[in-house]
Amino acid sequence: MTSFPEAARIALGDSQLRHNLRNATTTIRNKRARVVAEVPDWEELREAGRTIKAEVMRRLDECLLQFEESVQAAGGQVHWARDAAEANAIVLDVARAHDASEVVKVKSLTTDEIGLNEALAAGGVHAIETDFAELILQLDGDWPSHILVPAIHRNRSEIRDLFMRTIGDGRELSDDPRELADTARLYLREKFLDAKVGVSGANFGVAETGTVVVVESEGNGRMCTTLPPVLVTVLGIEKLVPTFADLEVFLQLLPRSSTGERMNPYTSLWTGVTVGDGPQEFHVVLLDNGRTRVLSDEVGRQALHCIRCSACLNVCPVYTRTGGHAYGSVYPGPIGAILTPQLRGVAKAKSLPYASSLCGACYEVCPVKIDIPSVLLHLRAQTEKDVAERIAMRSLARIFGNARLYEWAQRLARAGERPARRVPGPLATWTQTRELKPFAKETFREWWSRERGA
């Protein structure tokens, strides 16, 4: 993948993107702060969220088996997928078994992660994204830039032009968001009513009951999980919670942290198949795709606690400037910086653990208290150090450890100071954007020995 610094440089040059991002992240951040402040037991809820997730990870094998049994008992079918290819093949098989050339799909990071749409397309099945923002991106061949508002980098006139070119049915459209939303409603309604197969991700799966939970705003999630006769849900194995009652914690934490609402407009919970209500054939695909690798690292494991609220993106001084594309993954921002390298292997995304100033704002807002800064440091320790940096650090350590050597180095630095104030060689990048401060004419140690010295 392109390294974070390279990708970020391109993003930082896009002033429209930076303007949109600043607007969006500030607005959502303030909304979140308002509704979180309303909750007197917010810290207790966070602690409950953290400890429940830690408990799930510790007993994940049991929870998975219990979930499988519960879904099957309720008339659902459970599939297991070690990687993206296996998961995609399962979904494609279901679509083919029902002769579906189209499936309707709810926005889902997990299915983006495994490239499901592309895999289905290769198999002759078109996946229609039904979330408003995802539809915009799909129609334009673009990529999400924010977990929660994926098309935040596009403005209304761009969306109007796009709709007139694609789904507008030849009508003249204004750039009024109401009219644009109605255009999408009209276009997708027919798709929903006729769909044979629906595909979703999920926010939670309940081990105790086999219940699957989808949290959303627009109603496209309800449409996709209710109207088609067949439903396939792709569930990352880390999304389980032990009991049904545990949802009372997460359904308070998630909406307030995510959209800054007390509760999102729609939350759907279903368990297997219900006669006379909704899909009569239900498949759930339990996906590993690197998650057991993350699980095996006791420090890094907490990245799996993430409930995908995106609060950490909106407070991050790095994300709010670069946006999501620079992270080169469907999981951007601080959580992406710890999740992506672990899912793929640190060697494949070694610049990401450095895409942070370690300010800790992400940890403070995280609804399940993931200590992102500590995991970042933990991952940095696993990346290979630059040889020059290693030699420099070792020499510095020696100089700082010896008073005479230290004084000698200070004099040498002053003597060697050049008017250009740029450091040559491998450290040049440091001074590309910074002025090197001139050394003091007299060091503190020299002053001390002159004034007070014996």
Partner 1 sequence: MNEARDEILARTRAAIRESTPPDPVARAYRTRGLLDDPGRVALLGERLLDYRARVENTTAAALRDLLDEIARGGRIGVPRGLPETWRPASSVEDDGLSTYELDALDGVVTGCTVAIAETGTLVLAGGEMEGRRALTLVPDVHICVVRTDQIVETVPEAFAALLGFEHRPLTLVSGPSATSDIELERVEGVHGPRTLIVVILKEAG
Binding to partner 1, residues 47-66 (CB under 8 A): 47-48, 51-52, 54-55, 57-61, 64-65
- In angstroms, what is the minimal distance from the CB of 438 to partner 1? 46
Nearer CB in complex with partner 1: 201/328: 201
Counting contacts by CB under 8 A, is residue 438 touching partner 1?
no
Burial degree of 273 (CB within 10 A; 0-12, 13-18, 19+): middle
**Quick check: 294 and 370 in contact, CB under 8 A?**
no
Using CA atoms, how far apart are residues 326 and 415, in angstroms rounded to an integer? 41
Minimal distance in Å, beta carbon 447 to partner 1? 52
Q: If binding is defined by CB under 8 A, does position 284 make contact with partner 1?
A: no
Positions 318 through 357 that interact with partner 1 (CB under 8 A): none
Q: Does position 80 bind partner 1 by CB under 8 A?
A: yes
CB 420 within 8 A of CB 385: no
Site for partner 1 in 289-318 (CB under 8 A): 292-293, 295-296, 298
Place of tokens 């994204």: 129
Q: Which stretch binds partner 1 (CB under 8 A): 149-157, 346-354, 397-405, 435-443?
A: 149-157
Nearest to partner 1 of 234, 247 (CB atom):
247
- Does the protein bind partner 1 through residue 28 (CB under 8 A)? yes
141-158 b/e (C-beta count within 10 Å ≥ 16 → b): ebebbbbbbbbbbbeeeb
Half-sphere exposure of 279 toward its Cβ, with a 13 Å CA cutoff? 29
d(CA 388, CA 377): 20
Minimum Å gap between C-beta 202 and partner 1 is 14
Query: Interface with partner 1 includes 269 (CB under 8 A)?
Result: yes
- Ranges within 213-242 binding partner 1 (CB under 8 A): 217-220, 222-223, 226-227, 237
State phi, psi for 201 to the nearest 5 degrees.
-95, -160
Nearer to partner 1, 23 or 101 (CB): 23
How far apart, in Å, do the first and last CA atoms of the chain sit? 60
Residue 48 and residue 57: Cα distance in Å, rounded? 14
Smallest separation, CB 194 to partner 1 (Å): 8
Q: For partner 1, which stretch binds (CB under 8 A), given 116-124, 249-257, 387-395, 433-441?
A: 249-257
- By CB under 8 A, residue 267 contacts partner 1: yes
